[in-house]
Structure formats: C-alpha cells, structure tokens
Amino acid sequence: MAARAGVSLATASRVLNDSDRRVGREHRDRVLRAARELNYRTDLSAQAMARGSAPVLALLVSSIDDPYFSAIAAGVAESAHAHGVIVTIAITARDSERELTSVRTLRGQRPRAILVGGSRSSDDPRSEELLEELRSFASTGGRAVFVSQPVGGLGAVRPDNAAGAAELGAAVTELGYRRAAVITGAEHLQTVAERVEGLRRGLEPAGGRIALVERDDFDRAGGYRCTRRLIESGRIAEADVLCAGNDVMAIGAMTALRDGGIEPGRDIAVTGFNDIETAADVTPRLTTVRFPLAEIGRRAADLALDSAEPPTEDVLVAGSVVLRASSPPRTA
C-alpha cells in the first residue's frame, strides 16, 4: 500500500487508521487512492487490539419492538454517527442473567462505550456482578452509562419518572378525577416504583388516591390482561381513571375496555406514560407524560463518548403532561 502510494509505512498507517497526527492533503489522497485500487479493507479486529477499542458503541435494551426503546436507540444512533462509531444492540428481555452475559460478550469485542438501558430491579441477583463488569470495563478505558437508574456511582441519563408521574396525578385531579386504578409492571422494577409513588404524590393534595394496583408484564399484552381482570372482578368500578405504567400498556387497556363494553375516555379516563408516537394516533388520543426519548438516547451516548474520564453524573430529564381526549374534564 505504501509502495503503491509512494509514501512511508508510517504515513500510510496514519491515513488508514485515521490517526490524530496530521498528514498532508496530497499524501492522504494518494494513500486513499491506492487503497481503492488495491481493494484494501481495514482489519477492525487488529485495529481494536492496537487502539484498545473498536469504533463501536454497544446498547443494551429490554426490547427493540417497544417504541420506548426504539426511540432511545434512534437518539443513540444519531450521536454515534456524529462521533464516527457504529451501534450494536443487544436484547436483554429484562433478564438479569442475559444482561450480564451480554455485557461480558460485548466487552470481548472492545467497544468504546456500553449503554445499559431498561429499568433497574430492586431484587436483581446479578446487580453486583454487572457492576463489577462495568467498572472493570471502565478501568481499561471503556465508558459505561446507564439509560436508566444509575448503579454504583456510574453515570446515567434517564427520565425523571417520579416528577412526571406527580405532574400527571395533579393534572388528572384538576380535571375532576379522584380514584385511580393503576395497571403496571412488577413491583421490583424501579421505573414502576418511581411512577407509582410519583402518581400517588400528585393525586393526594387534591384529595385523590390510588384505589387499586394491578400488575402484569410491562407491555401491551400485560395492559390488556390487567384490565380484563379488573373488569371481570368488578373492581374497575372502584376507579374513575385508569393510569397505565406506560403507553403500550394503556393501548392494551383501551382494547380490553372496549371488549368489556366500556368506552375509554367516556366511561373511564385512561392515561399512559412516555408519549410514544402512536399515543396521538389511537382513539381516543391518549393523555400521557411526554419525555424526549431520542434526546435521552443522544445525551447518554454523548456523555459516554465525550468523557475523558468515566462519567459519574446522574442526569434527570424532565417530562411534561400532554392532556388529550382519553381524559376529558369530568362532569359531576
């Protein structure tokens, strides 16, 4: 390659490996032209070994078909492109063993940074092992950031779930609602706990309360099953507003309500959380808490890729309540 371009080995190496050391425009053009003529391809594995890392950012998410995570991934990809790295995604399915295995496997690929998405769990048996892996990764020059609750002093960028839920609770009481049925995920998920407690805090000042809590998987099917159980047991009558832990659960709940002969937005109000794109497309349009999910992903990736030292800051991103037709003002 160097002989073809008529330059030294050092100059060819600097150009092909995108070294920080400057190479003149003429010599750079000659090396790149020789690379095209010889059909040269960079050996990324060798490059990663030489540099200590590959131009890769690894993102772990619970599910890629959940619009919440796909929106965050879009922001991560935007930042990665700006930093000249590519994104590889691992699906953990909210399984701590699978999450830990994924981190260990990804470390072997020498990524520049690892972003860990998905709610942390209060009873995660692998939490300490995960933290040990991420700290070891950081000690060798990698960067680890949570896109969820932080663990062990590592950096995080996350939605301010508690504050957003409190704002939602206050907003529905202003509309005249007082008795909330909450359908949500497992109690050990910290995101779930933050949202339930925040909602409770927002309801109480105006005399509102959480009348009941029903739990299932934190997805559309879980929302449907929760609501069917409330209808079949008659407990749905205890509430005047159905507050779902996220938008996809709310969408499943509205389907269950209709299947049970109950019209969402008329017979009972419904709210969601996150403001995924389809929240404004369902009928009735869904009241929710909006978070800039793509921005959260972008900021998490920026924090990881721009940090000279392992990041430790915990960045809370504020949300805002979006009132729509699923929670009209309540008439006496």
- For residue range 67-117, what is the model confidence (pLDDT) as tens digits? 999 999 999 999 999 999 999 999 999 999 999 999 999 999 999 999 999
Q: Which two three-digit tokens encode residue 174?
A: 């202003």
Q: Is there a contact between 76 and 305 (Cβ–Cβ < 8 Å)?
A: no
Report which DSSP code applies to 121. B
Q: Which of 119, 131, 140, 115 is nearest to 62 (CA)?
A: 119
Q: Specify which residues 144 forms β-bridges with.
A: 114
pLDDT of residue 2: 75
Q: How far apart are CA 184 and CA 195, in angstroms?
A: 9
pLDDT at 211 over 60: yes
Name 283's Cβ contacts closer than 8 Å, sequence gap at least 6. Answer: none
Q: pLDDT band for 17, please (50, 70, 90 cuts).
A: low
Residue with tokens 């000042």: 205
Three-class secondary structure of residue 189 per DSSP: strand
- Rounded mean pLDDT, 231-245: 98
Cβ atoms of 287 and 258 closer than 8 Å? no
What is the per-residue burial (b if ≥16 Cβ within 10 Å, else e) of 105-115?
Answer: ebbeebbbbbb
pTM assigned to the model? 0.84
Strand order in the sheet with 179-184: 209-215, 179-184, 241-244, 269-271
Over the stretch 295-326, which tens digit does the pLDDT of each residue have? 999 999 999 999 889 999 999 999 999 999 99
pLDDT above 80: residue 233: yes
Phi and psi angles of residue 110, each rounded to the nearest 5 degrees, phi first:
55, 50
Cα distances (angstroms) measured from residue 9 to each of 31, 40, 88, 189, 195: 10, 15, 32, 55, 59
At 10 the pLDDT is 77
